[in-house]
Amino acid sequence: MSSLILDDFTDLIERPDGGVRRDAEERRGRQGLPPGALGRLDELAEWLAAAQGSVPVKPVERPRALLFAGDHGVAELGVSARPAGSAAELVRSVLSGAAPTAVLARRLDVPVRVVDLALDCDPEELPAQVAGHRVRRGSGRIDTEDALTEDEAERAVRAGVALADEEADSGTDLVVLGDISVGGTTPAATLVAALCGTDASVVTGRGGQPIDDLAWMRKCAAVRDALRRARPVLGDQLQLLAAVGGADIAAMTGFLLQSAVRRTPVVLDGVVASAAALVAQRVAFRAPDWWLAGHDSGEPAQAKALDRMALEPLLSHGVKVGEGLGALLAVPLVRAAAALAAEVPVTE
């Protein structure tokens, strides 16, 4: 029996300060710009001010990209364009600075932190600071077995909570949340379908490296079979994560919940982060007020999840690579919104 009670987060999470948001809106009205002239930048600045509890809004000075890494057993079915168990190669590319995410993060001055929750490799192959939170080697094949035991699911959620505390304690003022996974879009689609009550074909996309029609049909079948296993445990989010999630997704769920407790704003990347966010919303309905949707990845499950959470993507550039890249592209927008809100003079 788990000792972790996710429902406790419902009482721990408060909404961003509505009074501060109204003050930010009132200040914007005194800046001499026509209403609507800055479009969503006004909305962004007011959201950030409420999250910070500050008018004028403070600049985003210590952002961090946090990437949760894991392999998923369902990739053995050929539902991904990448070979099963190969996520560690993607991790090494990020760590070496060669991956697109690493290149962009350098340009934007956003440090990147990679956390191994369930990579299918020996932990000794990775730096200690990456492998220190590992829960297991690879998550289970969700069409026929649980992704995790309930104890592993609890450990993964607690790892995410601990990581959120570490970031908040270190002064991180904006988190870009993404994943590095192989097979991860399949459990993500399953979670979204289960929580939104939709069929497999409605939420099944073609992944970051697009798959062909045969692979898409295999993926649909895997989501369909996993849904049969998900529906009996829909009332218990920890059991749901154990049944059809994975260690990376469970940790992201814990991270999102605790980040909301600690009042740390988060920019969500693609479908995997969005699926974790949807689980977290089911736990604590106020939590999404602390999140932004960085971009539209084109995955139908992401669109479904964001719609359910009433989050509108900031960007739609067709970026499918994952690994936090699309959400990183939104960071300059958030910074621009903060600068305009704080530095355009007001009239007294």
Query: Long-range pairs for 136-141 at CB < 8 Å and ≥24 separation?
Result: 136/247, 138/70, 138/71, 138/72, 138/73, 138/85, 139/70, 139/71, 139/72, 139/73, 139/187, 139/245, 139/246, 139/247, 139/248, 140/73, 141/72, 141/73, 141/74, 141/76, 141/77
Tokens of 18: 């509505």
Q: What is the pLDDT of residue 320?
A: 84
The model's pLDDT over 190-205, given as tens digits with 9 standing for 90+, comes to 999 999 999 999 999 9
Q: What is the pLDDT of residues 153-186, one digit of tens each?
A: 999 999 999 999 999 999 999 999 999 999 999 9
What is residue 317's predicted lDDT score, i.e. its pLDDT?
Answer: 87
pLDDT (0 to 100) of residue 297: 92
- Ranges of residues in the chain whose predicted pLDDT is under 70: 1-2, 348
Give the tens place of pLDDT for each residue, 41-50. Answer: 999 999 999 9
- Choosing from 46, 152, 299, 323, which is the catalytic residue? 323
Residue 70 is inside which H or E element, if any? strand 63-71
How many whole angstroms separate alpha carbon 43 and alpha carbon 34? Answer: 14
Class of domain 63-332: alpha beta
pLDDT score of 6: 93
Report the pLDDT value the prediction gives residue 35, as an integer from 0 to 100.
Answer: 85
DSSP 153-219: HHHHHHHHHHHHHHHHHTT--EEEEEEEEESTHHHHHHHHHHHHT--HHHH---TTTT--HHHHHHH
Q: Dump pLDDT digits (tens) for 289-322.
A: 999 999 999 999 999 999 999 999 999 988 888 8
167 catalytic per annotation: no
Contact between 290 and 16 under an 8 Å Cβ cutoff? The reply is: yes
- Looking at residue 2, what is its pLDDT? 61
